[in-house]
Structure 1
Amino acid sequence: MLLLALDTATPAVTVALHDGTRTLAAADEVDARRHGELLLPAVDRVLAEAGAALGDVTGIVVGVGPGPYTGLRVGLMTATTLGAARGIPVHGLCTLDGIAHAAGQAGLEGPFVVATDARRKEVYWARYADARTRLGDPAVDRPADIAELVAGVPAVGMGARLYADTFTGVREDLPEHVSAAALAALAAERLAAGAGDGGEAGGFLPPLPLYLRRPDARVPANYKVVTPR
């Protein structure tokens, strides 16, 4: 097994190579405006550091979000293109699950919440029983609307840090963004347990974007009509 994992659903551009037991190489860079410029060079660096070639990879792991429209699509399109070119499977995972898994690797026990910045003064968030068990679907909300649900609960991620008045149990010593190394480790566990693609319930998601809301960019509602004289 040789998994190439990547995620661009948060400001982090993150790539890792995992052999099913450990992370062989990883690259992480935070820049919310340069996902498209940074991702493929990071893939090249990770493969080179591990002494591997793309042809050695047996599967792709990609974070499907939730995340902002443009950045999220960079990772997903790259993953699906690489998978199609090599004829290998592409396994989708919820980005919040990757952050939760990293928190568990750092010693956090449940229950807890994970929250990332959704912009528009909102957060993407989910509740977890433990680092491997999400309770329900991810959601997007204004922090004030979920204050009673998250107050005092250990909280991980940039969304929790940005709204510490709401996420009063925020753990600033734990990851603020997703890491591809954690995604790869989670995927390796699920593959070893016989998980399949196409759904959740301990398996994988299709490599399709999990937006939870409409994109920021929209087609103008009214056009000025110009008729020839």
Structure 2
Amino acid sequence: MLLLALDTATPAVTAALHDGRRVLAEAGGTDARRHGELLLPAVDRALREAGRALGKVTAVAVGTGPGPYTGLRVGLATAAALGTALGIPVHGVGSLDALAYGAGLAGLEGPFTVATDARRKEVYWARFADARTRLDGPAVARAADLPADARALTAVGAGAALYRDAFATVRDDLPAHVSAAALASLAAERLAAGDPLDAPRPQYLRRPDAKVPAGYKAVTRA
């Protein structure tokens, strides 16, 4: 197996390769406004660092969010295009699940809450029993409006750091954004166990900021 993992659900634009046993390479950058510019170069760097050709990839795993509309669709559209071009399966993995898994790899034991920045003074959040077991979510809300039991737990992620007063404890030493290496490891673990992965469909949770203008001015031909 040679699994290519991508995620653009947070400001981190990240790609990684996994051979079924370990992560071979990871590349990316952090820029909330340049997902489309950064993703394919990150894929290329990961392939070069791993010494593998794109044609050898046997599956793609992509973060399904939740995340902002514009950034999230970059990863999903790229994964779909690669899957079609290479004739390989594309699997979805919840981005909050991947962030929780990464926190577990960094030593965090459950239960805990994951929160990423959803803008509009809100967070995307989920509550976990441990790094592999989601109990609640994903959902979107103001941090102060999360259930009391979720706010009382240790919290990780950029959303928790942004609204730290809403949480009992925020772990700044743990990953703030999704890592494709963690996403790849989680996907590879599930595939090896025969567990089903998600469909590669976006979890937007709310409508995009952009709206169709109302009240078009009528134009008549001269």
Place the TM-score, normalised by the shorter chain, in its bin: over 0.9
Query: Which piece of structure 1 moves more, 217-226 or 152-161?
Result: 217-226
Name the structure 2 match of 1:61.
Answer: 61
Matches within 5 A, 1:112-127: 112-127=112-127
- Tell me how far apart the structure 1 counterparts of residues 42 and 204 of structure 2 sit (CA, whole Å): 24
Q: CA deviation at 1:145?
A: 1.2
- The alignment covers a number of residue pairs equal to 222
- Tell me how far apart the structure 1 counterparts of residues 157 and 202 of structure 2 sit (CA, whole Å): 20
1:194 is the counterpart of 2:187: no
Runs of at least 5 residues in structure 1 that lack an aligned partner in the other structure: 196-202
Query: Which piece of structure 1 moves more, 215-224 or 93-102?
Result: 215-224
Name the structure 1 match of 2:207.
Answer: 214
Aligned identity (percent) is 71
Name the structure 2 match of 1:176.
Answer: 176
Q: CA deviation at 1:151?
A: 3.0
1:141 is the counterpart of 2:134: no
Partner SS for 2:164: coil
* Runs of 4 or more consecutive aligned structure 1 residues displaced over 4 Å after TM superposition: none
Matches within 5 A, 1:1-20: 1-20=1-20
Q: CA deviation at 1:227?
A: 4.3
Give the alignment partner of residue 223 of structure 1, picking from 201, 205, 216. 216
TM-score normalised to the size of structure 2?
A: 0.97
Q: CA deviation at 1:146?
A: 1.4
Q: CA deviation at 1:223?
A: 2.0
- Tell me how far apart the structure 1 counterparts of residues 52 and 221 of structure 2 sit (CA, whole Å): 61
Q: Is the 8 A contact 2:113 2:150 kept in 1?
A: yes
Q: Is the 8 A contact 1:161 1:167 kept in 2?
A: no
- Tell me how far apart the structure 1 counterparts of residues 105 and 220 of structure 2 sit (CA, whole Å): 64
1:65-120: CA deviation from partner (whole Å, max 9, x where unpaired): 00000100100000010011111010100000000000000111111010000000
How large is the RMSD of aligned CA atoms in angstroms?
Answer: 1.2
1:132-158: CA deviation from partner (whole Å, max 9, x where unpaired): 000133000011211623333111100
Q: Is the 8 A contact 2:152 2:168 kept in 1?
A: yes
- Tell me how far apart the structure 1 counterparts of residues 151 and 71 of structure 2 sit (CA, whole Å): 30
1:151-195: CA deviation from partner (whole Å, max 9, x where unpaired): 331111000000000023110010000000000000010001012
- Tell me how far apart the structure 2 counterparts of residues 119 and 125 of structure 1 sit (CA, whole Å): 13
